[in-house]
Amino acid sequence: MATPVSSILQRIAAAGKAYESEELGSRESLIELGRDLVAALEIPSEFLQRSFWAEPALSAHCKFAVQVKLFQHLRDAGETGLSSEELGEKTGVDVVLLQRIMRHLIAMKIVTFSDGKFKRTALSDGLAAENYQKSIDFCYDVTRPTFNGFPAYFKKGEYKLPTSLTDGPFQAAHGTDLAFFPWLVATPPHLDEFGNFMSAYRAGKANWYDPQFYPVEERLINGFDPKNNEVLLVDVGGGRGHDCQLFTNRHSSTSGKVILQDQEEVIASIQDKDKLPFQSQAHDFFTPQPIKGARAYSLHSILHDWNDEEGIKILENLKPALTPGYSRVLLNEIVLSEEHPTLAATSMDMMMLAHFAVRERTEADWKAVIEKAGLKFVKIYNYPGVAESVIEAELSA
């Protein structure tokens, strides 16, 4: 049964006060309540107009904006803004065409118009940054064709769940036999775009080691025993060390070592390793963990790239390195809610379905994977407004 509009408005008022008081998660709550309000008020014809006309046109216009540096021109113009003629001259776009596109961007709340000038917003300024520009390219050129191909792919496959890394919706959309990551390597512009997309995906959100998320002091630093092993944290599959860098910045007073692990080619690509506050080591997480008895082993968005069987193998390769009652395994992953799934979580689940033929997991799913690997599920830590959680596990007694 639909939620009464009056109830939604009351919750919006309460969330607005929480936002003014800078309560954690209040901004995200307001956005979600805004969606609730639209869902309660929108009639089917308006839903079709928004979903199948306005939003696809918006994504196309954002790609257009990248091509002509539209958001950068508006940002550089400051509060003065630019007239149609001025913006047309800077972008090289026909003025009438530009006006029509800009009107839609105004209607979609991306930019504004006043005093005869098109003007920037905080959102358009953010989208002008390089990592968001390349994220738009990636989403428009790589992910959108895959989603558009869902109906035809599923119909052809008789609506069965895809299970192959090389024969899924992504391959059908892009005409390739390659798995997603090898395809990215074979198409370097998209590889660069994907790297920027991943940096943009988590931007502005709390990290797992930040205050009020996972209690690093209580669960890792307290009880840390250098005599057992001088390594405090091993970041397994940690890329070029984004988490390691921020973790060491946040907890610079700790004496334990932080070690980054990833594939040899990834580690080799890191510049000025000697100047970094952490060590790095080439390691394949499908082989036994070489660092024994560290306080914690962190895997950030690793297992969601793999099916249950492969995920269990990754965890099993950690087991011999764990010290009972001391070492912790920290999985920084989305935990899907069955009753109240969030847009951020289900969007990522659709990304995994489209490009990897795998899934995001519920709490029950995570417990099953952890226990099948011979580990003990301890607790899930959440942070308001952040899609990912920290799932803590340890060696079973």
pLDDT in tens, 158-199: 999 999 999 999 999 999 999 998 999 899 999 889 888 988
pLDDT confidence band for 70 (50 / 70 / 90) = very high
pLDDT confidence band for 151 (50 / 70 / 90) = very high
Instruction: Check if the beta carbon of residue 85 is closer than 8 Å to that of residue 95.
Output: yes
Q: What percent of the chain has pLDDT over 70?
A: 99
Residue 201's pLDDT is what? Answer: 85
Q: How far apart are CA 305 and CA 359, in angstroms?
A: 8
Q: What is the tally of helices (H) and strands (E) in the chain?
A: 20, 10
- State mean pLDDT over 215-243: 92
Residue 10's pLDDT is what? Answer: 97
- Which two tokens mark 379? 């607790």
Q: Which of 69, 385, 30 is nearest to 213 (CA)?
A: 385
Q: Which of 286, 301, 304, 289 is nearest to 259 (CA)?
A: 289
DSSP 82: B
Q: How far apart are CA 378 and CA 392, in angstroms?
A: 5
Rg (C-alpha) for the chain, rounded Å, is 24
Q: Which residue has the higher pLDDT, 254 or 278?
A: 278
Cβ-defined contacts of 17-21 (< 8 Å, 24+): none
pLDDT tens, position by position, 350-368: 999 999 999 999 999 999 9
Q: How far apart are CA 86 and CA 1, in angstroms?
A: 51
Q: Which of 193, 80, 211 is nearest to 143 (CA)?
A: 193
- State mean pLDDT over 298-312: 95
pLDDT tens, position by position, 103-112: 999 999 999 9
Q: How far apart are CA 295 and CA 293, in angstroms?
A: 6
Residue 1's pLDDT is what? Answer: 64
Helix (H, G, I), strand (E, B), or coil: what is residue 390? strand
- What is the model's pTM? 0.90
Residues belonging to the active site? 304
b/e per residue 247-286 (b: at least 16 CB within 10 A): bbeebeebebbbbbbbeeebbeeeeeeeebebbbeebebe
State CA 296 to chain mean position distance: 23
Helix (H, G, I), strand (E, B), or coil: what is residue 328? strand
Q: Is the pLDDT of residue 100 over 90?
A: yes
pLDDT confidence band for 374 (50 / 70 / 90) = very high
Residue 203's pLDDT is what? Answer: 84
Residue 2's pLDDT is what? Answer: 67
Q: What percent of the chain has pLDDT over 90?
A: 86
Q: What are phi and psi of 96, to 5 degrees?
A: -65, -45
Q: Which residue has the higher pLDDT, 226 or 74?
A: 74
- Which two tokens mark 40? 């309660």
b/e per residue 299-316 (b: at least 16 CB within 10 A): bbbbbbbbebeebbebbe
Residue 229's pLDDT is what? Answer: 84
Average pLDDT value over all residues in the chain: 95
Q: Is the pLDDT of residue 273 over 90?
A: no
- State mean pLDDT over 56-75: 98
Residue 265's pLDDT is what? Answer: 87
Strands 231-236 and 117-119: unpaired
Residue 270's pLDDT is what? Answer: 87
Q: Is the pLDDT of residue 226 over 90?
A: no
CA atoms in the 13 A half-sphere facing the CB of 322: 24
Q: How far apart are CA 96 and CA 180, in angstroms?
A: 40
